[in-house]
């Protein structure tokens, strides 16, 4: 490695508010050589995004200040550089890509113009030349028809294309260093794989140096040469990817690696759950279910338009089973969950819960469902009424379900114990709790009805990995202890693989594959399942990520089995 391109030395950022200075970044030091790809890993609040904002001196609030240290870019100290020089550095030398392209692209400006803007400003090209250069960049980042798409507005593109446009905007001013702040977190796994592939391609083509921020150790393991781990504003460990993953020094790094979902959990499903006794009949039976929603006000349109969210799904779930439903956004998995609980209209087909048919005798089935099934939601904050304390919230459920008033306080205590919350949480409101604590409270509320079945809808997607792992452990313990039936909906295959014994893969409202977890993951029958599995960033760098070139075409046609012959299973 030659002399480092970027050298961060003891960089310290503090916030100055009423309570006096608080240090948010504590003496961060790291070096970045030309052509390096550095992965910056940490959970929310670790300061990884703040560090990158501090590098280009674009701190998110005027209350924050760089209080010490230096950032040397090719020998110049950016901390002391004047604002005019920083304008050249930002974009011109260090480009940034943000997590949420939807909010970071200007909604009222053409995509091409946003790229051309940087070209004109930083390279001083004429309008015509800038346009030509922007079209060139659009083609580079994967726009099929750049001349036409130049004139598109951000909202006309899909999430993946918007992120490509965002990358294009960052490339427009021809930077040497590219900082990508969680560039794929908002995307589906297959799209994520494509975007990561694109980033690496561009790195190779342009000789870029890249800092990739991610909460997902898998993403970093697949793309970077070096890894730096951050926690609470400190850089706890950094080093070469392989040695760091193989022999982590810091306990926190170890914990991060252990809680990564691609690591096999202790005692995968089969062992944890005693084989369910051959049940007489399934607890939940879904037969050719369709859910359609009316779309738009079709006052002058030809005929009523509908969107089919679920198209002909059939599924049986036995008592005590743990079933994972996976699929990307728009696959209909959440709609299915809501339909099961009678929260979405069923257009045709049957759902019956323990013999009660939701279509034929809706009132009776609903009554049964609502006292024997409960749901856990994705966003732990939004799922709890902000005005009620946890105790009030659980008490209300108990009261409605006819628990004697005298027994309620004791029961609240038991429920909190069960989900691993201190009993004092009964008096707290959601806003004074962390995401993980809120999610535990949400589970306690679900358990309050003493359900036979719990439907968990993406219930760990919004949580940090270490918290994710804790919640998954909690579910594992609960299902084992209370003979619960669990329907676990997730976009993250790795989590499902760890928790569930059976998996159902949904795509565009249909079930494309279903089977025992071990079988499906080892030998996927459907091309979509296969591409989904290949796109999981594994924490093992030697199991490379495969940005499936097949998947866009799969996305277009919507079907395409690998093969109907059993022998195909062994090809992979």
Partner 1 sequence: MHRYRFVLYRPLQFLPVLLGISIITFVLVRLIPGDPARVLLGSRATPAAIANIRAQYGLDEPLWVQYFYFIGNLGQGEMGKSILYKIDVLRLIATRLEPTLALVLSSVAQSILIAVPLAALAARHRTRLPDHAVRIVSTLGIGFPPFWLALMLIILFSVRLGIFPVSGYGGSLTDKLYHLALPSLTVALSLSAVLTRSLRAAMVQALESDVATAARARGMPESIVFWRHVLPNSLVPTVNLLAVNIGWLIGGTVVVESVFALPGLGQLLVRAIFSRDYMVVQGVAMVFACATVLVNFLADIITVALDPRVKL
Partner 2 sequence: MAVLGLFLVLAVFAPFIAPYDPIFQDAAARLHAPSPAHPLGTDNFGRDILSRVIWGARIDLQIAVIGVVFPFIIGTTLGTIAGFFGGIVDVIFMRVVDVVLAFPFLVLMLSIIAILGPGLGSFYIAMALVGWVSYARLVRAQILVLKNSDYAVAAISLGFSRSRVMFRHLLPNAAAGSLVFVMSDAVLVLLNGAAISYLGLGVQPPLAEWGVMVADGQSFISTAWWITLFPGLSIVLLAFGFSLLGDALADLMGVHE
Give the residues lining the site for partner 2 (CB under 8 A): 338, 341-343, 366-367, 370-371, 373-375, 377-379, 382-387, 396-397, 400-401, 431, 442, 445, 448-449
Judged by beta carbon, residue 169 or residue 291, the one nearer partner 1 is 169
The entry of partner 1, partner 2, none that residue 109 binds, CB within 5 to 8 Å by partner kind: partner 1
Q: How far is the CB of 392 from partner 2 (least distance, A)?
A: 10
Q: How far is the CB of 64 from partner 1 (least distance, A)?
A: 14
Judged by beta carbon, residue 170 or residue 535, the one nearer partner 1 is 170
The entry of partner 2, partner 1, none that residue 269 binds, CB within 5 to 8 Å by partner kind: none
Q: How far is the CB of 127 from partner 2 (least distance, A)?
A: 42
Q: Is the dihedral of CA 151, 154, 157, 159 positive or negative?
A: positive
In terms of DSSP H, where are the helices of 124-269? 127-140, 146-149, 159-171, 189-206, 217-223, 241-246, 251-259
Judged by beta carbon, residue 281 or residue 364, the one nearer partner 2 is 364
Judged by beta carbon, residue 106 or residue 417, the one nearer partner 1 is 106
Return the closest-CA partner of residue 493 out of 503, 478, 485: 503
Footprint on this chain of partner 1 (rule: CB under 8 A) = 56, 58, 60, 62, 86-92, 95-96, 98, 100, 103-109, 117-118, 121-122, 153, 155, 166, 169-170, 172-173, 299-300
Q: How far is the CB of 383 from partner 2 (least distance, A)?
A: 4
Phi, psi of 301 (to 5 degrees): -80, 160
The entry of partner 1, partner 2, none that residue 121 binds, CB within 5 to 8 Å by partner kind: partner 1
Judged by beta carbon, residue 149 or residue 335, the one nearer partner 1 is 149
Letter string b/e over residues 196-219, b meaning 16 or more CB atoms within 10 A of that residue's CB: bbbbbebbeeeebbbbbbbbbbbb
The entry of partner 2, partner 1, none that residue 91 binds, CB within 5 to 8 Å by partner kind: partner 1
Distance CA 460, CA 489 (A): 10
Judged by beta carbon, residue 9 or residue 429, the one nearer partner 2 is 429
Tokens of 4: 């480092």
Q: How far is the CB of 48 from partner 2 (least distance, A)?
A: 25
Judged by beta carbon, residue 6 or residue 336, the one nearer partner 2 is 336
The entry of partner 2, partner 1, none that residue 103 binds, CB within 5 to 8 Å by partner kind: partner 1
The entry of partner 2, partner 1, none that residue 105 binds, CB within 5 to 8 Å by partner kind: partner 1
The entry of partner 1, partner 2, none that residue 348 binds, CB within 5 to 8 Å by partner kind: none
Q: How far is the CB of 82 from partner 2 (least distance, A)?
A: 35
Judged by beta carbon, residue 412 or residue 449, the one nearer partner 2 is 449
Distance CA 561, CA 563 (A): 5
Q: How far is the CB of 510 from partner 2 (least distance, A)?
A: 24
In terms of DSSP H, where are the helices of 38-149? 48-55, 83-89, 101-104, 111-123, 127-140, 146-149
Q: How far is the CB of 418 from partner 1 (least distance, A)?
A: 41
Q: How far is the CB of 114 from partner 1 (least distance, A)?
A: 9
Question: Would you tell me how many other CB atoms lie within 10 Å of the CB of residue 80?
Answer: 10
Q: How far is the CB of 378 from partner 1 (least distance, A)?
A: 22
The HSE-up count of residue 98 (CA atoms within 13 Å, CB side) is 11
Distance between start and end Cα atoms, the chain: 38
DSSP conformation class of 274: P
The entry of partner 2, partner 1, none that residue 122 binds, CB within 5 to 8 Å by partner kind: partner 1
Judged by beta carbon, residue 60 or residue 544, the one nearer partner 1 is 60
Q: Most distant CA pair in the chain: distance in Å?
A: 79
Distance CA 534, CA 528 (A): 10
The entry of partner 2, partner 1, none that residue 88 binds, CB within 5 to 8 Å by partner kind: partner 1
240 close to 225: Cβ distance less than 8 angstroms? yes
Quickly tell me which residue has 């609470």 as its tokens. Answer: 232
Judged by beta carbon, residue 121 or residue 381, the one nearer partner 2 is 381
The SS3 assignment for 443 reads helix
Letter string b/e over residues 117-152, b meaning 16 or more CB atoms within 10 A of that residue's CB: bbbbebeebeeeebbebbbebbebbbbeebeebbeb
């Amino acid at each position: 490695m030659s002399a480092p391109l970027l050298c961060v030395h003891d960089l310290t950022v503090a916030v100055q508010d009423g309570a006096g200075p608080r240090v948010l970044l504590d003496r961060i030091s790291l070096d970045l050589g030309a052509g390096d790809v550095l992965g910056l890993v940490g959970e929310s609040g670790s300061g990884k995004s703040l560090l990158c904002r501090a590098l280009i001196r674009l701190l998110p609030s005027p209350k924050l200040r760089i209080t010490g240290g230096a950032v040397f870019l090719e020998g110049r100290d950016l901390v002391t550089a004047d604002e005019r020089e920083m304008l050249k550095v930002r974009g011109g030398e260090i480009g940034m890509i943000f997590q949420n392209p939807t909010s970071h692209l200007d909604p009222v400006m053409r995509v091409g113009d946003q790229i051309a803007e940087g070209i004109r400003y930083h390279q001083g090209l004429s309008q015509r030349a800038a346009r030509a250069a922007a079209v060139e960049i659009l083609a580079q980042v994967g726009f099929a028809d750049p001349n036409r798409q130049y004139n598109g507005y951000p909202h006309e593109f899909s999430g993946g294309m918007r992120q490509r446009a965002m990358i294009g905007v960052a490339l427009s001013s021809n930077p040497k260093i590219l900082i990508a702040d969680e560039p794929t977190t908002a995307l589906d796994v297959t799209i994520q794989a494509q975007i990561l592939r694109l980033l690496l391609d561009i790195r190779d083509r342009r000789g870029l140096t890249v800092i990739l921020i991610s909460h997902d150790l898998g993403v970093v393991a697949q793309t970077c040469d070096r890894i730096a781990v951050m926690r609470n504003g400190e850089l706890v460990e950094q080093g070469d990817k392989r040695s760091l993953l193989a022999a982590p020094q810091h306990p926190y790094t170890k914990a991060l690696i252990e809680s990564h979902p691609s690591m096999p959990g202790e005692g995968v499903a089969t062992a944890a759950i005693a084989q369910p006794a051959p049940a007489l009949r399934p607890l939940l039976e879904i037969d050719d279910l369709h859910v359609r929603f009316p779309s738009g006000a079709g006052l002058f349109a030809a005929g009523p338009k509908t969107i089919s969210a679920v198209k002909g799904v059939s599924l049986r779930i036995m008592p005590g089973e743990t079933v994972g439903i996976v699929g990307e956004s728009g696959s209909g998995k959440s709609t299915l969950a809501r339909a099961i609980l009678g929260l979405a209209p069923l257009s045709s087909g049957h759902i019956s819960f323990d013999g009660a048919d939701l279509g034929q005798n809706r009132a009776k089935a609903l009554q049964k469902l609502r006292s024997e099934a409960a749901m856990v939601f994705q966003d732990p904050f939004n799922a709890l009424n902000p005005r009620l304390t946890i105790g009030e919230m659980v008490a209300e459920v108990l009261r409605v379900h006819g628990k004697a008033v005298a027994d309620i306080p004791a029961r609240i205590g038991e429920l909190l114990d069960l989900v691993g919350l201190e009993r004092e949480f009964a008096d707290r409101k959601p806003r004074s709790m962390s995401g993980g604590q809120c999610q535990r409270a949400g589970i306690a509320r679900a358990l309050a009805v003493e359900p036979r079945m719990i439907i968990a809808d993406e219930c760990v997607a919004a949580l940090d990995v270490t918290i994710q792992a804790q919640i998954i452990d909690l579910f594992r313990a609960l299902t084992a202890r209370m003979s619960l039936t669990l329907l676990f909906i997730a976009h993250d295959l790795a989590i499902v693989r760890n928790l569930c014994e059976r998996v159902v893969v949904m795509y565009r409202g249909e079930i494309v594959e279903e089977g025992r977890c071990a079988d499906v993951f080892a030998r996927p029958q459907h091309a979509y399942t296969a591409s989904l599995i290949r796109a999981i960033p594994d924490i093992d760098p030697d199991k490379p990520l495969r940005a499936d070139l097949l998947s866009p075409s799969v996305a277009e046609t919507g079907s395409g089995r690998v093969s109907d012959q059993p022998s195909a299973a062994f090809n992979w």
